[in-house]
Amino acid sequence: MTRRSPEPINHQVSRLEVGIAEPFEAFRNRYEQAVPAINPDHVPKLVERQAPWDEVVAAAEASAPHGFLIYWSSDVSALMALAGARARCVEYLMGNHTIAERMYRHDPAVMLHAPLRTAICARDDGPVRFVVDQPSTVFSSFGNAEIAAVGKELDRKLAALLTALGAPVPAALTSP
């Protein structure tokens, strides 16, 4: 086995900040309906009985109306309020394991960025924002055309999700 010397891989990531024209809780509720939480019991049961991959894909498609599931979330607002902060922020890990697998087979290190990390936030005196690193800019850093192609596909899926939520779609998500 050849070991690579520990060298940094520098890459540029584009963070997308999408302004949301509705109250924080209203958008949060609609986002969580459009991107439902994964059933925590379902995946272990599939693994336990060694379900065929086609069944895993079908279950993910049936559970994710817009192609994404929430794997984890945390409303950090209350904790940060202990320091006097009045801003709101809920962070999420949003993705789809069946899409991630199409990158994982080429390099399991993609799991550093899959699922995608997203946040809904608002400063105490500012508008609500949906924030995410653009998938194609994250996954292109792996230097693999197949992984990069899935990153572009995730851009398009993210654009479709924002459209379904009635949010503005950054041009970077729909550019070729």
Q: List, for residues 58-75, the tens digit of each pLDDT value.
A: 999 999 999 999 999 999
Residue 3 has pLDDT above 90, yes or no: no
Residue 8 belongs to a domain: no
Radius of gyration of the chain (CA): 17
What is the CATH classification number for the domain harbouring 68? Answer: 3.30.310.70
Residue 6 belongs to a domain: no
Q: Provide the residue range defining the domain that includes 104.
A: 15-168
Confidence of residue 42 (pLDDT cuts 50, 70, 90): confident
Tell me how many domains the chain contains.
1
Give the residue from 56, 67, 38, 44 showing the smallest Cα distance to 162. 67
pLDDT in tens, 134-164: 999 999 999 999 999 999 999 999 999 999 9
Confidence of residue 43 (pLDDT cuts 50, 70, 90): confident
Percentage of the chain lying above the pLDDT 70 cut: 98
Residue 5 has pLDDT above 90, yes or no: no
Q: What is the pLDDT of residue 2?
A: 56
Residue 103 belongs to a domain: yes
Residue 4 belongs to a domain: no
Q: Give the C-alpha distances (Å, rounded to integers) separating 175 from 32, 134, 159.
A: 27, 12, 11
Q: What is the pLDDT of residue 85?
A: 94
Residue 86 belongs to a domain: yes
The residue type at 70: I
User: Residue 69 in contact with residue 36, Cβ under 8 Å?
Assistant: yes
Residue 108 belongs to a domain: yes
Q: What is the pLDDT of residue 126?
A: 82
Residue 41 belongs to a domain: yes
Q: What is the pLDDT of residue 114?
A: 98
If you average pLDDT over every residue of the chain, what do you get? 94
pLDDT in tens, 101-135: 999 999 999 999 999 999 999 988 789 999 999 99
HSE toward the beta carbon, residue 142, CA cutoff 13 A: 24
Residue 88 belongs to a domain: yes
